[in-house]
């Protein structure tokens, strides 16, 4: 397969971006070039196509284009991913909203929804789920569908239970504290079918919508107390990152919080518009 040896050049990438931009509303021009290049490489290898035929197919076949766009996006998430962040949410962030009448939470780039369910579980444990309005968006409609289902592999994701224990059952600030919350309270584990299935009261709550951070802006007629956008901006270049920060800043309530991924930080012009609270950013 020649495509395997062919390295995607900058020009190839540009053709790819331009083609997608010309036939759809998707715009990858401000994505991180290196990452996008690797994704393009992967797509070419997976479909065993050369660039020209890929671009032709993209032009002719809308469904194929959607598929490719989905493949471009990276969807990694877990239940209670990075437990320290959830500890922060539990001990420092969410308590700030204890007295709010409502809490608007936006999971931008929710992927397959684990983060959404983690948030709801945590909120429920803190007796705050009732006043929470959960909005979850992603570019990829497939993962959104999976998120709505709330069914995950069990064996492959044994780590979920660990994370659950770390966040919900234990308290890192007080090792003697132990809340014996049964898993069945929130999800059913079927070892034979190898599934973890979220309870209905969780799956029916969030509003899932397809959404492109690059072009769509805020599609909800609301501002937010908390925006989670974890491990998304790493795929964007500096300019797009700043656009996204601006979008988030504009749509946060004063003192609202933005939570980025473990290794994501705001640098640049918008840094001064936020205050830090651990991993989180508070709108000044």
Partner 1 sequence: MKAFANMKLAQRIQLTIITLMVVLFAFAGLTLNYFSRTRTISNAIKEANTYIDRLIDITTLIEQKTGKGLSSNDLFELKPYFAKPAFNRTDYPAIISKNGEYLLHATRQGARLPLKTVQEIKTLKSNEGYLNYLDITDDNTEERILVYKYFKPYNAYFTISISPTEVLEQVKTNRRVMIIIVILASLISALVVSLLLKPIAKQLAHLSVRLKQLALGEIPTKVKITDKSELGNLSESLNGLIDGLKSTSEFARQIEQNKLDFEFKPLSKNDQLGMALLQMRESLKRAQQEEAKRKEEDNIRSWINTGLAKFGDILRQNNNNLNLLADSVIQNLVNYLDANQGGIFMFKDYESEKYLELLSAFAYNRKKFLQKTIMLGEGLVGTCAVEKQTIYLKEIPSDYIAITSGLGEATPTSLLIVPLKLEDEIFGVIEIASFNEFAPYQIEFVEKVSESIAATLNSVKNNIRTRELLEQSQQQREEMAAQEEEMRQNMEEMQATQEEMQRKNLELEIITSAINQSLVSCSLNDDGYIIDSNIVMQEMTGYSKIELEGKLLESLIDETQREEFSKLWKSVLNGQSINTTLHLKGNNDRELYLLATLTPGFDPMGLLIKIFLVGHDITESKKLELMTQQQAKEIEKNIKRIKEEQEISSQRQREMETLLKALDQNCLVSIIEPDGLITYINNKNVEVLGDKKSDIENHYLQDIDYTAKNKPKEFERFWKSLHKGIKQTREFSLNVKGEIRWVLENYTPIMDEAGNLYKIINIALDITENKRKEQELNGVIEQLKQQLKK
CA distance 207 to 210: 10
- Burial of 209 per CB tally in 10 Å (0-12, 13-18, 19+): middle
Residue 175 touches partner 1, criterion: CB under 8 A = no
**Taking CB under 8 A as the rule, which mask of x and - marks residues 21-60 in contact with partner 1?**
-----------x-xx--xx--x------------------
Taking Cα atoms as reference points, which of 52, 43, 48, 44 lies closest to residue 71?
43
Answer yes or no: are the C-beta atoms of 244 and 236 closer than 8 Å. Answer: yes
Residue 255 touches partner 1, criterion: CB under 8 A = no
Residue 276 touches partner 1, criterion: CB under 8 A = yes
Residue 189 touches partner 1, criterion: CB under 8 A = no
- Between 201 and 238, CB nearer to partner 1: 238
Taking Cα atoms as reference points, which of 79, 221, 211, 241 lies closest to residue 151?
79
Structure tokens at 247: 């979008």
Binders of partner 1 among residues 115 to 154 (CB under 8 A) are 153
| Shortest distance, position 19 Cβ to partner 1, whole Å | 21
- Between 39 and 211, CB nearer to partner 1: 39
Residue 223 touches partner 1, criterion: CB under 8 A = no
Structure tokens at 258: 């933005």
Residue 84 touches partner 1, criterion: CB under 8 A = yes
Residue 170 touches partner 1, criterion: CB under 8 A = no
| Shortest distance, position 84 Cβ to partner 1, whole Å | 5
Of 6-14, 18-26, 126-134, 274-282: span binding partner 1 (CB under 8 A): 274-282
Residue 74 touches partner 1, criterion: CB under 8 A = yes
Answer yes or no: are the C-beta atoms of 150 and 197 closer than 8 Å. Answer: yes
Residue 59: phi and psi, rounded to 5, are: -70, -35
| Shortest distance, position 268 Cβ to partner 1, whole Å | 8
CA distance 273 to 258: 12
- Between 235 and 248, CB nearer to partner 1: 235
Beta strand spans in the chain (E): 103-108, 132-138, 151-153, 170-171, 174-178, 187-190, 195-198, 207-210, 224-229, 252-260, 274-277, 280-283
Taking Cα atoms as reference points, which of 207, 279, 225, 270 lies closest to residue 244?
270
Residue 257 touches partner 1, criterion: CB under 8 A = no
Binding site for partner 1 (CB under 8 A): 32, 34-35, 38-39, 42, 74-76, 82, 84-85, 87-88, 91-92, 153, 155-156, 172, 194, 231, 233-235, 238, 261-265, 267, 275-279
């Amino acid at each position: 397969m020649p495509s395997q040896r062919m390295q995607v050049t900058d020009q190839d990438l540009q053709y790819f971006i331009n083609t997608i931009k010309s036939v759809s509303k998707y715009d990858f021009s401000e994505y991180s070039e290196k990452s996008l290049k690797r994704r393009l490489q992967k797509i070419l290898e997976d479909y065993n196509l050369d660039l020209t035929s890929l671009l032709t197919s993209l032009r002719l076949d809308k469904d194929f284009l959607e598929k490719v766009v989905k493949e471009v996006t990276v969807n990694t998430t877990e239940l209670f991913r990075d437990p320290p962040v959830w500890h922060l949410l539990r001990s420092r962030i969410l308590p700030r909203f204890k007295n709010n009448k409502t809490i608007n939470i936006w999971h931008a780039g929710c992927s397959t929804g684990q983060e959404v369910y983690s948030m709801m579980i945590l909120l429920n444990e803190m007796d705050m789920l009732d006043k929470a309005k959960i909005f979850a968006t992603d570019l990829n409609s497939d993962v959104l569908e999976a998120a709505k289902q709330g069914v995950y592999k069990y064996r492959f994701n044994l780590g979920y239970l660990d994370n659950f224990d770390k966040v919900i059952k234990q308290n890192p600030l007080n090792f003697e504290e132990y809340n014996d919350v049964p898993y069945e309270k929130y999800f059913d584990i079927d070892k034979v079918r190898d599934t973890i299935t979220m309870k209905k009261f969780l799956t029916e709550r969030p509003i899932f919508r397809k959404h492109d951070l690059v072009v769509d802006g805020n599609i909800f007629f609301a501002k937010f107390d908390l925006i989670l956008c974890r491990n998304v901006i790493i795929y964007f270049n500096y300019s797009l990152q700043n656009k996204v920060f601006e979008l988030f800043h504009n749509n946060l309530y004063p003192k609202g919080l933005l939570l980025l991924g473990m290794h994501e930080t705001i640098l640049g012009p918008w840094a001064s518009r936020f205050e830090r609270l651990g991993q989180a950013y508070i709108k000044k």
